Amino acid sequence: MDDEPIVRWYWIGDHLGYLGHLLADHALLALPPVLIGLLIALPLGLACSRFPRLYQPLSAVLNVVYAVPSLAVFVVLIPYTGLATEASVMVPLTFYALAVLLPTTVDGLRAVPEAVRQAATAMGYGPWRRLAAVELPAAVPYLVAGLRVAAVASISLASVGALIGRGGLGYLFIDGFQRTFPTPIVAGIVLIAALALVVDLVLVGARRLLAPWAVREKGAGS
């Protein structure tokens, strides 16, 4: 280790294709669970905002899920999802995403002032139209905030999957560690942070498109 430089630049140059392949694999492992989590969180959040009694036990369960160490979940699920398969990593990540997204969805749906809701009803909006035209748009800033947290966490956590044989860029950590070779580890950390940054920027851009008012509101904050 003493003579080993932190980064052997030539290794990075020689492995651009390999790193690109791992990066794509990592994105495919980490991001679909966030989308699936959102697809589950929306109806579930809706149910929770309609039936508040549902929310507390559900969020307590998800709080517990969030506290389970990711590695343990990966291990627990191996018999159902197989070792070193996509599912063995993606199923747990979906639960983590859901644990983040459900509270933000509920907060978002609750964010509409009661007066506005009543006004929409008074204007003859049915529950579905009110949902689509008033409540969901109002929830967008909350949803995007939740998605940002969930996406970054998912990208970071997916690497732990390397310990059960499927972790995208996480493989670089194990490989580098076993060969006392910091270069792949550094490359993996940088690429994971970069991927998270790009996804974050995309989400911020999406919020500006979908809910331009939210940006102004934040920009003019105290």
Partner 1 sequence: MNWLTWLSDFFSDPEQHSGPNSIAHRVWEHLLFSGEALLYATVLAVPLGLLIGYTGRGVTAVTAFAGAARALPTLGLVTLTVLLAGVNDTAALVPLVALAAPPLLVAAVEGVRGTDPDVRDAARGVGLTHPQVLWQVCLPSAAPTLLAGFRTATVQVIATATVAAYVGLGGLGRYVIDGLATRRYAVTAGGALLVVLLAVGAQLLFSLLSRYALPPGARPGRRGR
Partner 2 sequence: MSTINRTRRAAVLGTLAALALGATACGSSGGDPLGGSSSAPAAGGASASGTAAGSGGSGGSGSTVVVGSANFPENVLLGSIYSQALKAKGVKVEEKFNIGSREVLYGQLQSGNLTVLPEYNGALLAYLDAKATAVTTQDVNAALAKALPASLAVLDSSPAEDKDSLSVTQETADKYGLKSIADLTAKAGEFTIGGPPEFKSRREQQFKDVYGLTFKEWKPTGDTTANALKDGGVQVGNVFTTDPKIVQFKLVPLADPKNVFGAQNVTPLVNKAGLDATATAALNAVSAKLDTAGLTALMKRVAVDKEDPSTVAKDWLKSNGLG
- Determine the distance from the C-alpha atom of residue 111 to the mean position of all C-alpha atoms in its chain, rounded to a whole number: 22
Q: Which residues lie closer than 8 Å to 120 by C-beta, 6 or more apart?
A: 130, 133, 134
Quick one: 63 exposed, middle or buried, by C-beta within 10 A (0-12, 13-18, 19+)?
Answer: exposed
Fill in the per-residue mask, 36 to 75: x = in contact with partner 1 (CB under 8 A), - = not in contact: ---------------------------xx-xxxxxxxx-x
Q: CB-wise, 129 or 216, nearer to partner 1?
A: 216
d(CA 23, CA 205): 22
Residue 77's nearest CA partner among 169, 166, 173 is 166
Q: Are 20 and 197 in contact (CB under 8 A)?
A: no
Q: Which does 57 bind (CB under 5 to 8 A by kind): partner 2, partner 1, none?
A: partner 2
Taking CB under 8 A as the criterion, the residue among 116, 136, 145, 174 binding partner 2 is 174
Smallest separation, CB 12 to partner 1 (Å): 15
Residue 148 interacts with partner 1 (CB under 8 A)? yes
Of the pair 4, 217, the CB lying nearest partner 1 is at 4
- Is there a contact between 148 and 198 (Cβ–Cβ < 8 Å)? no
Q: Which two tokens stand for residue 185?
A: 């580890």
Is residue 74 within the footprint of partner 2 (CB under 8 A)?
no
Interface contacts to partner 1, rule CB under 8 A: 1, 4, 6, 63-64, 66-73, 75-76, 107, 148-149, 152-153, 155-157, 159-160, 162-164, 169-170, 172-174, 176-177, 180-182, 185-186, 188-189, 192-193, 195-197, 200, 221-222
